[in-house]
Amino acid sequence: MALWRFLCRDSRGYPEYIAKTLQPGYCGPIVFAAAGASAQYDSRTMILLTRRADFAASHYYWVDAWTPEENERAFGKCSNRHGHGHNYTLEVTVAGEVDATSGFVIDLKTLKDIIEREVLQAYDHRHLNLEVPEFENVLPTTENVAIAIWNRIAPALKGAKLHRVRVYEMADLFADYYGEA
């Protein structure tokens, strides 16, 4: 017996990893081999592929309808109108079937180019409140940054489906966005 990790779909149809102890043998579209050998798959195998990128940006939190005291109380040091910066880490996860010829869910250079064009060129070394249009009237919280990145990347993808956008503001603070429910 061996512990295998494989991809299934949850009740909403979203891919999810399941870890099970199985005898080597057939299990759905994946053919498991003996320990130490590679698994075989057919073209219907669903895979999640994640690409990571880093960018630096500054922001502040401020609600114009509130008094300075209310902003200070709600946002603390983050309400300083000069802003503060973060070194963000972005993870873009796509889901799709493995192409039988290329072995890819999506061409990795294509995914890297999409992230570069749609996110890094727009966000890296920018003041999000002042230089990025989608934050003109929306606070650039980690949650809203993840949603905005989804909205930039999803239309540019061809062949693979955007599964998740994860934005780390700090090592211990991140937001995940899976699109509209």
Tell me whether strands 26-27 and 46-59 are parallel, antiparallel or unpaired.
unpaired
Regarding whether 89 and 144 lie in a shared domain, the answer is yes
Q: Give me the pLDDT at residue 45, please.
A: 75
Q: Give me the pLDDT at residue 12, please.
A: 54
Q: Give me the pLDDT at residue 176, please.
A: 98
Regarding whether 55 and 37 lie in a shared domain, the answer is no
Kindly report the pTM of this predicted structure.
0.76
Residue 60: C-alpha distances to residues 66, 74, 120, 152 (Å) = 14, 12, 19, 22
CA distance 155 to 134: 16
Q: Give me the pLDDT at residue 33, please.
A: 34
From the list 72, 78, 97, 134, the catalytic residue is: 78
From the list 8, 84, 116, 125, the catalytic residue is: 125
From the list 59, 86, 118, 169, the catalytic residue is: 169
Q: Give me the pLDDT at residue 159, please.
A: 85
Give the tens place of pLDDT for each residue, 69-88: 999 999 999 999 999 999 99
Residue 27 designated active-site? no
For residue 160, the domain's CATH number is 3.30.479.10
Residues of the chain short of pLDDT 50, as ranges, are 1-6, 18-39, 41
Regarding whether 82 and 8 lie in a shared domain, the answer is no
Regarding whether 11 and 97 lie in a shared domain, the answer is no
Residue 36's domain comprises 2-42
Q: Give me the pLDDT at residue 134, please.
A: 97
